[in-house]
Structure 1
């Protein structure tokens, strides 16, 4: 099923995600959606991406109801965001010598992660890493470049998604 994301609202990080008949509020990067994004720019990269797999916290939620492949997040799971490292934009085991995100967080933002196929086939150093769809903060504050939804809305999207689903993040008009 096709998933579309667009900026909408008074601030660049306000967005909407559409799947089927559902139109859902989402948070984007603090700088909105950009066409030529780079690592650390605080923007959500425009483009069409496959949904690679779901990572989830089995200690905090049930197995997601979805056709997509689901992998539990373990205590040593991370994601490399160091452009000069060979594991850039890839999962790693912690501790890891280069800069990386810890996937098992104290907050609930990464209780469910949809890994998007952004800059992964092939990986280009510096083009951006760890672009996910994940749980939003309650106030929908900006992300570092991901697409974030309420937990219930994220579960609704996962229930509708299948192995052929793609997410299209549309650049702003004008």
Structure 2
């Protein structure tokens, strides 16, 4: 897989100082054609990463035999290249935000759950618990009492098919407060995350590239990164 960004015309690039970093910087990029040059969009923003840093995830990139590898509950955000497949949030399905969204939108309800139990047949999926057989012992509520899931995007880590225990429920979402690490997601300020989510367009096959700086420099040419 020489070009994990084949077909991608919108990119979120997150760079971290090293594998143990709990913070990084996110920059948007776009290109007019799949073989065109990447151009920056807007200003770079600060983001929070996993409380234990980064680890290689399962996405569009080839497997690596160096560095840590992500596992369920390890507190690490996934490194690599990942499709961005959907949006979610507390706004209703008929809200202005939902109508403006250019990715599929999941409106959070008390029944919308993100399944993180590796033993469940629904592992690493967001489901409406009213419509499936409940076979999990652990899940995340997508309708929260804090702001963290007010708006966000689904990162397609470990999805084809999900490998039990390799990590689940990876999102771009709102941080608890500036610099506060996450359980394994990438998080930023509410206004920034909202702007990014409304910018993402399914027609442009948006992707997240998330790497420590040294690995990014090493892979930049081979993966045709900006």
Using structure 1 for the length normalisation, give the TM-score: 0.90
Task: Say whether the 8 Å CA contact 1:56–1:63 is kept in structure 2.
Answer: no
Is 2:191 the counterpart of 1:152?
yes
Q: Which of these two proteins has the greater Rg computed from alpha carbons?
A: 2
List per-residue Cα deviations over 1:129-163 (Å, max 9, x = no partner).
00000011123310000000101111221233211
Aligned counterpart, 1:165: 206
Paired with 2:101 and 2:47, the residues of 1 have a C-alpha distance of 20
Aligned counterpart, 1:2: 11
List per-residue Cα deviations over 1:83-106 (Å, max 9, x = no partner).
111111012344844211111111
RMSD in angstroms over aligned alpha carbons?
2.1
Question: Structure 2 residue aligned with 1:41, among 66, 74, 84?
Answer: 74
Aligned counterpart, 1:90: 125
Paired with 2:196 and 2:79, the residues of 1 have a C-alpha distance of 19
Question: Structure 2 residue aligned with 1:63, among 83, 90, 97?
Answer: 97
Paired with 2:141 and 2:106, the residues of 1 have a C-alpha distance of 16
Aligned counterpart, 2:27: 18
Task: Say whether the 8 Å CA contact 1:30–1:43 is kept in structure 2.
Answer: yes
What secondary structure, in the 3-state scheme, does the structure 1 residue paired with 2:127 have?
strand
Task: Say whether the 8 Å CA contact 2:50–2:75 is kept in structure 1.
Answer: yes
Paired with 2:17 and 2:196, the residues of 1 have a C-alpha distance of 19
Task: Say whether the 8 Å CA contact 1:34–1:171 is kept in structure 2.
Answer: no
Paired with 1:160 and 1:26, the residues of 2 have a C-alpha distance of 17
Unmatched tracts of structure 1, length 5 or more: none
RCO comparison, higher one (Cα < 8 Å, 6+):
1
Is 2:114 the counterpart of 1:72?
no
Unmatched tracts of structure 2, length 5 or more: 1-9, 29-40, 57-68, 216-226
Paired with 2:137 and 2:125, the residues of 1 have a C-alpha distance of 12
Is 2:168 the counterpart of 1:135?
no
List per-residue Cα deviations over 1:64-97 (Å, max 9, x = no partner).
5432121211111111101111111012344844
Task: Say whether the 8 Å CA contact 2:152–2:193 is kept in structure 1.
Answer: no
Aligned counterpart, 1:125: 164
Using structure 2 for the length normalisation, give the TM-score: 0.70
Matched pairs, number:
172
